[in-house]
Amino acid sequence: MSFTDGQKRGRTRGVWLACAAVVLTALVSSACAADNKSADSTAPPTSSSLPVASLRTSVQETMSKLQVPGAVVLVATPDAQWLEAFGTRTLGGADPVTTKDVFRVGSITKTMTGTVILQLIEEGKLKLDDPISKFYPGVPNGNTMTIADLLDMRSGLASYTQLEVVNRAMDDERARAWTPEELVALGAGEPAVFPPGERYDYSNTNTVLAGLIASKITGEDISTLLNERIFTPLGLTHTSMPPITSAAMPDPHPHGYMYGTNLSTMSSTALPAEQQAAARAGTLAPNDYTDLNPSWAGAAGAASATARDLRVYAEALASGRLLDAPVQRQRLESVTPIDPADSSGPGYGLALASFGPMFGHAGSLPGFQSFMAHDPQRHLTLVVLTNLQFSPSGEETANTIAQHLMGTLYSNESAAVPEAANR
């Protein structure tokens, strides 16, 4: 569920991998109109200030290479927007993806949960340096672990999504409704990875626990909090968090696919060589995980949205529309390189990631992959949604498309893009 990889497995550990520095070209003039392949007549016209022909070719070539069935891509500036859908909702089907389709967005949800926590801090209901034990007992090192440690991914809590028991259940009990309490208990039941604050280590347990703390303070579940504090104020009418008992997705939506199973891909998302060859030959198909109940991801990754809504949200997130100026400034300043030895690599802070000059997050969960970011200096927004989590060779699909698009949209910049982390 985010822009990661790099340890033994990005999905299981969520350690970010700095992408190779992309050689970027300046924004060039293009008179090409955004001819939506899905015949979505509501898509806004494309300004000639965006290199649409180059962007479209990049998406199509990358989708073909990664064997992605369908995608939606959005690139926007204050006076231009290119929004286009590609491919089909089902593998080998004829029903086209449209720009109105809803996708599960995985770890992008983490920024939403983190925003609620920061709003509660603004309201004086908790502090970044409050110990976790003040709100939730029984967590290893809870007396020295802080709210900031949860949001910064520096708590040392093991991620429950690394556990075989969870991955097996996600394959065999797809309808299972996971409560946030049992998810936290699974992570907290494992030995601490390191003392709080020592270093960065991506863990879904952190954000699910943050969601529980927000619920304890307010008396409302995380779905209600996100709706009241983020979705409704921003007018995100096609963004939602389902109840934990439901695996249903809002219509219209594509099916979501993954090669292999949750259990078989714990150590590596890349298929064995012979299976990669079979996938390229069309004799091995990905599995359909659309019916997997996303409650296993909870406050760390269960939300769904459209590309248009994610544009609004990404711009609000980076510009501070949901927080007051001092807290927003603190949030942006909290983002530091994941690898202290690589100052140009991807960064992470208070439930917020950075990819070069862009702020946002990525998301990855069985069936879907997503990327959302906004550059507040250039006022540039990029959203990529796909219905295949990993390619046969293990690349995160939306992140890879985003990397290529950033290569077209920037000049003389290095863009670091992370990979999946909700696993």
Each residue's pLDDT, cut to its tens digit, for the chain (423 residues) gives 334 433 233 343 332 222 322 222 222 222 222 333 333 433 444 445 899 999 999 999 999 999 999 999 999 999 999 999 999 999 999 999 999 999 999 999 999 999 999 999 999 999 999 999 999 999 999 999 999 999 999 999 999 999 999 999 999 999 999 999 999 999 999 999 999 999 999 999 999 999 999 999 999 999 999 999 999 999 999 999 999 999 999 999 999 999 999 999 999 999 999 999 999 999 999 999 999 999 999 999 999 999 999 999 999 999 999 999 999 999 999 999 999 999 888 999 999 999 999 999 999 999 999 999 999 999 999 999 999 999 999 999 999 999 999 999 996 444 444 444 455
Judge residue 24's burial from the number of C-beta atoms within 10 Å of its C-beta, 0-12 exposed, 13-18 middle, 19 or more buried. middle
Task: Tell me how crowded residue 84 is: count the other CB atoms within 10 A of its CB.
Answer: 25
What is the C-alpha separation between 183 and 190, in angstroms, rounded? Answer: 12
What's the Rg (C-alpha) of the chain? 20
Q: What is the DSSP letter of 373?
A: E
**Lookup: tokens for 386:** 């796909």
The answer to whether the beta carbons of residues 323 and 331 sit under 8 Å apart is yes
pLDDT of res. 112: 98
Domains in the chain, CATH or no CATH each: 10-409 (3.40.710.10)
What is the C-alpha separation between 199 and 20, in angstroms, rounded? Answer: 23
pLDDT of res. 30: 26
Q: 220: Cβ–Cβ under 8 A, 6 or more apart, which residues?
A: 228
Task: Tell me how crowded residue 148 is: count the other CB atoms within 10 A of its CB.
Answer: 21
The answer to whether the beta carbons of residues 49 and 98 sit under 8 Å apart is no
pLDDT of res. 26: 26
Does a cis peptide bond (omega within 30 degrees of 0) precede residue 376? no
pLDDT of res. 48: 53
DSSP states along 307-351:
HHHHHHHHHHHHHTTTS-HHHHHHHHHH-EESSTT-TTS-EE-SS
pLDDT of res. 47: 47
pLDDT of res. 362: 98
What is the C-alpha separation between 81 and 325, in angstroms, rounded? Answer: 28
Judge residue 182's burial from the number of C-beta atoms within 10 Å of its C-beta, 0-12 exposed, 13-18 middle, 19 or more buried. exposed
The answer to whether the beta carbons of residues 65 and 79 sit under 8 Å apart is no
What is the C-alpha separation between 386 and 186, in angstroms, rounded? Answer: 30
pLDDT of res. 17: 29
The answer to whether the beta carbons of residues 155 and 165 sit under 8 Å apart is no
| Angle value at C-alpha 400, between 399 and 406, nearest 5 degrees | 85
